[in-house]
Amino acid sequence: MSTLWQSIAGLPNFLLYFALALVLLTIFVAIYVRVTSYREFVLIRGGNVAAAISLSGALIGFVLPLASAIAHSVNPVDMVAWGAIALLVQLVVYAAVSRLVPHFREAIEADRAAPATLLAALAISVGILNAACLTY
């Protein structure tokens, strides 16, 4: 029986980090959908695949470095700080793509997958690089 208690001794830390990660994810989504120039959830509910692709890429691009921050942080404050940096990085990726691709908003609203796929691929790629940098 003591082995079971030893195995779950880290449960309070797990719950703390998991709860903080969910809060950060919620904050990320709330900020991201306000920063973008189109209404992701309205478009997704209407069947817009491009909006789903772009938002999915941003989510993955954010969660990858957040997971790395959880795995490598020295405490919850450290994890939250690096999570905030991951959030900012994803906002920069969106800003860059939306400026580089002419009529980006219109393309997403028109359900064009090419610009959405580019955004998703860049968001995930930058998220992977960001996560790798957090392995210090």
Q: How far is CA 18 from the centre of its chain?
A: 15
What torsion do the CA atoms of 103, 62, 26, 11 make, to the nearest 10 degrees?
170
The whole-number pLDDT of residue 3 equals 80
* Tens-digit pLDDT string for the chain (136 aa): 578 777 788 899 999 999 999 999 999 999 999 999 899 999 999 999 999 999 999 999 999 999 999 999 999 999 999 999 999 999 999 999 999 999 999 999 999 999 999 999 999 999 999 999 987 6
Task: Give the other-Cβ count within 10 Å of 118's Cβ.
Answer: 18
Token pair belonging to 86: 């991951």
Q: Domain map of the chain by residue range?
A: 12-133
User: Which single residue is written with the structure tokens 């082995």?
Assistant: 3
* Cβ(66)–Cβ(83) below 8 Å: yes
What's the pLDDT tens digit per position in 15-54? Answer: 999 999 999 999 999 999 999 989 999 999 999 999 999 9
Sign of CA dihedral 28, 31, 35, 40: positive
**pTM, to two decimals:** 0.92
The whole-number pLDDT of residue 136 equals 66
- Phi–psi pair at 52, nearest 5 degrees: -65, -40
